[in-house]
Amino acid sequence: MDKNKLIQLIVERLGSDLELAMSAARVAHAASTSDETQPDNKYDTLSLESSYIAQGHANRAQQLRRSLDNYKKLSVRDFSDRQRVAMTALVGIEYEDQTARQLFIGPDAGGLKVLFDHLEVVVVTLESPLCKALLGRQLGEVITLGRENDLEFEIVSLY
């Protein structure tokens, strides 16, 4: 399995998300400085609200830029069946109800989903409880997150 191809898909997705966030920030900034949104009275807050939205989009763009840089610098390694889960592992898990998921242990952009080799791959980061439960584990281990009503899952593949 070529994980460099997976990284390229993540980089492309982050790049398009960054373009979208920057465009949204520009539109919101233009709205906040437009003559039409300047307040008529102290209760007219359209310009202020637009500036908050612009700042939110700018912050999101900054996060995406950082994520993009992290993935461009990432060194990918392959894992054998006997190795333990670590950064850049592509981990297949199967829950006790037979639901399967593919997880990529990445440095950033947790929750991002990409389609890779006809499978949906979800990025998980070191901060997530799921990733913390996976780190250091091996193929075949059964894991639970320890919360009430959590399903157990087994590591069924490791690349």
Sequence ranges of the domains in the chain: 3-72, 90-158
Prediction pTM value: 0.85
User: What's the per-residue H, E or C state across 40-93?
Assistant: CCCCCCHHHHHHHHHHHHHHHHHHHHHHHHHHHCCCCCCCCCCCCCCCCCEEEE
Q: Regarding predicted confidence, which is higher, 44 or 158?
A: 158
Residues 40 and 46: their CA atoms lie apart, in Å, by: 10
Fold of 90-158: Chitinase A; domain 3 (3.10.50)
pLDDT level of residue 37 (50, 70, 90 thresholds) = low
Please provide the average confidence, as pLDDT, over all residues in the chain. 90
Angle between helix axes 3-33 and 46-72 (nearest 10 degrees) is: 160
DSSP three-state, residue 95: strand
